[in-house]
Amino acid sequence: MMHVTPALKRALSLAALFALGGTAVAAHDMWIEPSGFKPVIGRTVGFRLRVGQDFQGDPLPRDPKLIEKFIVVDGATTTPVVGRDGADPAGLMRVAAPGLFVVGYHSKPSPVVLQAPKFNEYLNEEGLEAVAALRAKRGETNAEAREVFVRCAKSLLLAGPADATQQDRVLGLPLELVADRNPYLLTTGQSLGVRLIYGDKPLAGALVVALNQRDPLARVAARSDKAGHVTLKLTQPGPWLIKAVHMIPAPAGSDSEWASYWASLTFELGDPSPRAMTSMPSVR
């Protein structure tokens, strides 16, 4: 009898969820989790795609049918992220020089049908009260929802020393989180300003949430202002995930009722302790 490891069990469960039309994974976060947020120059870093909740996720192997854009920006250079179909990590990059690397993943739209309790629950969790109110006005609160969703994930990696000239970049994702400054210059307890952009314009009133992987239940959240801006206090060292969701009525003639866009941004905040754990080793 084959021994089913916990990792294999999670992978089989995720595959089963996709086979059922993605109903359970549609309302889950998606993010980029590099093999090391501070890769060594001359080594190769792997970009793992993860789908889950509370900054704990299952692998999302590379699938060319899902990828609209998968790039890395280094200074003025934009390069496609290469990888082997079906592989985890979903992408690889050799670090040739120091700098701040901005990795971006934009998925193609995926349809999903959610039963009313599940859909209403995630509207509440993601701060989408306006959608819930519109469904109530239409008398649809207890009706299933047909949705098409798009993933818009980013990650910031630093090779070599950090400096103030290194900046996050706007990659042109449908919904995008952009850090105001290089997060690798921050220490525990400082705040990071983040802009939320939708369709090349600031998105106001969206719930933006930050989670630390070491203590994901201790969340920091704020609503974006008229400039699409929030300020989030980074209370702990370690990997951080900042996320936001935007939903609109699907275009007329669409097979879906709603269109959602899921943005994420990951990076690592250094541990001030001299005994801090180093980043995970890079993929050779």
Give me the residue spans of the domains in the chain. 6-269
Across 157-178, average pLDDT = 97
Lowest mean pLDDT: which of 96-105, 131-140, 178-187, 264-273? Answer: 264-273
How do residues 61-82 score in pLDDT, each as one tens digit?
Answer: 999 999 999 999 998 899 999 9
Report whether pLDDT(12) > 60. Answer: no
Taking residues 263-268, what's their average pLDDT?
Answer: 98
Nearest to 60 by CA among 50, 72, 75, 70: 50
End-to-end CA gap in the chain: 33
> By the 8 A CB rule, do 192 and 212 touch?
no
Single-letter code of the amino acid located at 147: E
What would the mean pLDDT of 279-283 be, rounded to a whole number?
A: 41
Average pLDDT over the chain, rounded to whole?
88
